[in-house]
């Protein structure tokens, strides 16, 4: 059994995720998101979807990017 790098749970169905040369082991997608998902440069939430990027920073949505003086939503 493998041990989750976030919560320490030993689990027979653990999986690994590799990102930019770093590989970590997880027992759930929740732990993987906590450890590897980027955070919004404005509100700090974890970005699980595509997010938006402007000025070299990533945001969870156009609204947060707009608060930071960047991207405007066309909706």
Question: Other C-beta atoms within 10 Å of 22: how many?
Answer: 9
Domain ranges of the chain: 1-36, 38-75
Cβ 9 vs Cβ 3: under 8 Å: yes
Residue 67: what pLDDT?
Answer: 84
Q: What is the mean pLDDT of residues 52-61?
A: 90
CB neighbour class for 19 (10 Å; exposed up to 12, middle 13-18, buried from 19): exposed
Query: pLDDT-based confidence at 54, cuts 50/70/90?
Result: confident
Cβ 32 vs Cβ 19: under 8 Å: no
Residue 72: what pLDDT?
Answer: 59
Whole-number mean pLDDT of the chain?
A: 91
CA 40 to chain centre: 9
pLDDT(29) > 90: yes
Q: Give the CA dihedral 54, 55, 57, 58, nearest 10 degrees.
A: 0
């Amino acid at each position: 059994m493998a041990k989750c790098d976030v919560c320490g749970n030993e689990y027979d169905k653990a999986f690994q995720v590799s990102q930019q040369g770093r590989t970590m082991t997880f027992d759930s997608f929740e732990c993987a998101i906590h450890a590897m998902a980027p955070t919004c440069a404005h509100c700090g939430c974890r970005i699980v979807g595509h997010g938006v990027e402007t000025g070299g920073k990533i945001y969870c949505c156009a609204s947060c990017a707009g608060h930071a003086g960047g991207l405007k939503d066309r909706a």
